Amino acid sequence: MAGSFNAASTTDQVLDGVDLRGKRILVTGASAGLGVETARALAAHGAQVVGAVRDLAKGEAATAQVRADAANGGGLELIQLDLASLASVRAAADRLVADGRPFDVVIANAGVMATPFGQTSDGFETQFGTNHLGHFVFVNRIASLIAPGGRLVTLSSAGHRYADVDLDDPGFERTDYDPMLAYGRSKTANILFAVEFDRRHRARGIRATAVHPGAIHTELARHMSPEMIGALIDSLNAQLAEAGEAPFEFKTVPQGAATSVWAGVVASGDDVGGRYCENCHVSPVSEGLITPASEGVRSYALDAERAGALWALSERMVGERF
């Protein structure tokens, strides 16, 4: 396992001494928070970064520091991608395939969290449709561009512990909608996608992994009121106190993005392929009580049979086979 990093490690610490000149890396959600920092750190170490953003004007404004910090030939270009619209997803993928330039790493970073009930333009529940199905179609359509030896990193969350995927009711047609339950389902789906993508592409030397960045105060929580966030933190601190652990603290954005770049360009593919990572290392499987300060991935999120079943369901939902 490369390096000895932890929850406090930052992107620049993880990439210290790493030369990414000649590497081309795609990052979705590069107009805010973790996506901007991920792009900045990679470009600062010489990578050519393609940032996929829903709003190009917002993306241009948000990535000024990425361009300012780019070094050793690194740089940034932006493309338009709305993961809540399969028409946009397919158009963006088609443009990249027509361009033909390969990617060494794809980081599926974009996402939404705890949204009110709603549907994407294609009629999918918002969080499952955006976080999972949008990336499912986009990444699969550009899979031929990932170079042998390349890597896919999908951003999941400890929120996957809230729920397994529901293969019988992915759209909450028969289940009462709960924002965090829906978020948990979508984050489990992100892990299962990485597991199955890894199985399908490892013969080409391409490995896929899922990462949890940690709790960071970013735009991701914009659908949660300050009162909701405060109540959640109070609940977490009560659990931590009962377990004899220190109070909850948010990670900084550079700390949150560290695991993405570590898993993408530092860690060995054999170490992280088909696995779930947090705090810059591979997480253990844990079925017991997990406190906010502890680590662990639920076994259902790494289940190969369930990953295959989700893949088949996703193909049926989007009307496309990969």
Active site residue ranges: 156, 183, 187
Query: How far is Cα of residue 173 from the mean position of the Cα atoms in its chain?
Result: 26
AA identity, residue 152: L
Classified as helix, coil or strand, 27 is: strand
Classified as helix, coil or strand, 308 is: helix
Give whole-number Cα distances, 62 to 6, 69, 169, in Å. 28, 13, 37
Whole-angstrom Cα distance, residue 249 to residue 176?
A: 32
Strands (E), the chain: 24-28, 48-53, 75-80, 103-108, 146-155, 207-212, 276-278, 281-282
Residue 45: which of 53, 35, 37 has the closest Cα?
Answer: 37
Residue 261: which of 23, 38, 66 has the closest Cα?
Answer: 38
Whole-angstrom Cα distance, residue 43 to residue 27?
A: 11
Place of tokens 């990414």: 20
Written as one string, the DSSP assignment of 182-249 is: HHHHHHHHHHHHHHHHHHHHGGGT-EEEEEE---B-SGGGGGS-HHHHHHHHHHHHHHHHHTT-PPP-
AA identity, residue 86: L
- Sheet containing strand 48-53, edge to edge, reads 75-80, 48-53, 24-28, 103-108, 146-155, 207-212, 276-278, 281-282
